[in-house]
Amino acid sequence: MSQDAFDPYFGTWFLHSRKLRDVTDPDCTEWLEFDGTNDVSPILGGLGNVEVARFAYDPPFEGVTLRVYDPADEIWRIYYTSTRQSGPLPPPVQGRFENGTGVFESDEVLAGRAIKVRFEWTGIAGDTPRWQQFFSFDQGRTWIKNWVTVSTREA
């Protein structure tokens, strides 16, 4: 999969998410569940896409994802921001799909501490794509899953 890796995700989806209450705390074990919707559209002649998601969280929030494919390096760069995370965009996670799984990573600073971030996509071409977010607080030796979203295409 390359430039067209996210094409099956274009359209409108119902989202069901599970997220740790405090993703900044490596010891947090309390999960919250909430729903949402998103719209995913191609841009840049197929070299990218934009996703606008609305979540029924407390309080509700909106997130925007910009995905851009770099054909020279054969990688995707994924940028995310939301109404809960104002200010400059964090660095993009970068990566690619191999054998149906997309893995994208970056180094960031969260709540004043250096972390590694990983997004994983599975089932992108199926009926229920799954996105997961992991943080590593120890330079990638261990990973803590802190957010899972399963998408179902809206009729």
pLDDT tens, position by position, 26-70: 999 999 999 999 999 999 999 999 999 999 998 999 999 999 999
- Residue 72 pLDDT exceeds 70: yes
* Cis-peptide into 88, omega within 30 deg: no
Query: Does residue 126 belong to any structural domain of this protein?
Result: yes
Q: What is the torsion angle, in degrees rounded to the nearest 10, for the CA atoms of residue 7, residue 11, residue 16 and residue 19?
A: 60
The residue range of the domain holding 66 is: 7-153
Distances in whole angstroms, Cα of residue 119 to Cα of each of 44, 77, 104, 155: 23, 11, 5, 27
- Residue 17 pLDDT exceeds 90: yes
pLDDT score recorded for residue 96: 97
Query: Does residue 1 belong to any structural domain of this protein?
Result: no
**Structure tokens belonging to residue 12:** 């409108």
pLDDT score recorded for residue 155: 60
Query: Does residue 2 belong to any structural domain of this protein?
Result: no
pLDDT score recorded for residue 79: 96
pLDDT score recorded for residue 50: 98
pLDDT tens, position by position, 81-137: 999 887 788 899 999 999 999 999 999 998 889 999 999 999 999 999 999 999 999
Domain count, the chain: 1
Q: Where are the beta strands (DSSP E) in the chain?
A: 11-20, 31-43, 48-55, 61-70, 75-82, 93-98, 101-110, 113-122, 130-136, 144-153
pLDDT score recorded for residue 1: 56
Query: Does residue 88 belong to any structural domain of this protein?
Result: yes
Query: Does residue 60 belong to any structural domain of this protein?
Result: yes
**Structure tokens belonging to residue 74:** 């054969």
Look up the CATH number of the domain holding residue 27: 2.40.128.20
Query: Does residue 35 belong to any structural domain of this protein?
Result: yes
